[in-house]
């Protein structure tokens, strides 16, 4: 599905959430049913171009990945607040400049086959994804205290990177402050609210942030929750079921996009 432009030849149509009183109409959804978590983050070093390619080779046409800012404001891919787990450096992820981060080994921790795999910039992954027709769920993963700065910077860069692309990236975050900043910076880009637990006021939160989708832990979902989200005008995403039987149940409930690690087990359709 391709979004038709409304703001000129290079502006993809924004995905607009249903508002109160509009009934059960839901937004258009140009994203695949399955997304590869952190790329194929178990088969290759997570949040690297090698992981993105591994998911693509197994038929995945959507990837999820985490973006934060370096000390000098460059958007790059990393999940953790520290460099310890997935690189050969230690310390806070935003303590180094991009020039310093770009020299790190982000692959050997996974396996020797990926020795010296590099941390990619957000721009490098965007370029690869657009060239290969891969949709992106960009999780804004700010360092503590940098929520609004990261949300704004990632949204503005995403707008520029996908300017000529037919399908916009989907921005998501657990940080409501980061999502609010992304909304303010690039309101036309679609947003999803990530949730570990679904609060009673989830509708109000999604409305306040002008989100198009809710994205909770799969263990929080039920057929009733999915139906309620659709009735409220929202799409439903979830992370990260890896059991094919669980995934089949989620599909039967009508979950729109399932983010999974089990790239070698769950085949995209």
Catalytic residues: 37, 79
Contacts of 237 (CB under 8 A, 6+ apart): 137, 172, 192, 213, 214, 215, 255, 256, 257, 258, 259
């Amino acid at each position: 599905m391709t979004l038709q432009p409304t703001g000129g030849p290079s502006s993809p149509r924004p995905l607009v959430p249903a508002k109160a009183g509009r009934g059960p109409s839901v937004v258009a959804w140009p994203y695949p049913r399955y997304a590869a978590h952190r790329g194929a983050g178990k088969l290759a070093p997570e949040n690297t171009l090698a992981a993105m390619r591994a998911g693509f080779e197994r038929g995945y046409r959507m990837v999820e990945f985490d973006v934060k800012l370096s000390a000098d404001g460059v958007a790059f891919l990393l999940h953790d607040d520290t460099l310890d787990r997935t690189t050969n450096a230690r310390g806070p992820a935003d303590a180094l400049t991009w020039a310093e981060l770009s020299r790190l080994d982000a692959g050997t921790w996974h396996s020797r086959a990926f020795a010296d795999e590099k941390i990619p910039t957000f721009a490098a992954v965007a370029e690869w994804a657009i060239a290969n027709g891969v949709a992106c769920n960009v999780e804004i993963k700010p360092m503590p205290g940098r929520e609004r700065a990261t949300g704004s910077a990632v949204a503005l860069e995403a707008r520029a990177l996908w300017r000529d692309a037919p399908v916009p990236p989907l921005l998501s975050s657990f940080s409501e402050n980061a999502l609010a900043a992304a909304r303010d910076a690039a309101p036309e880009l679609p947003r999803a609210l990530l949730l570990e637990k679904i609060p009673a006021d989830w509708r109000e939160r999604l409305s306040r942030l002008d989100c198009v989708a809710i994205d909770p832990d799969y263990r929080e979902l039920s057929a009733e929750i999915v139906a309620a989200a659709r009735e409220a005008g929202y799409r439903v995403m979830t992370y990260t079921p890896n059991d094919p039987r669980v995934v089949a149940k989620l599909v039967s409930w009508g979950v729109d996009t399932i983010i999974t690690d089990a790239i070698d087990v769950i085949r995209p359709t």
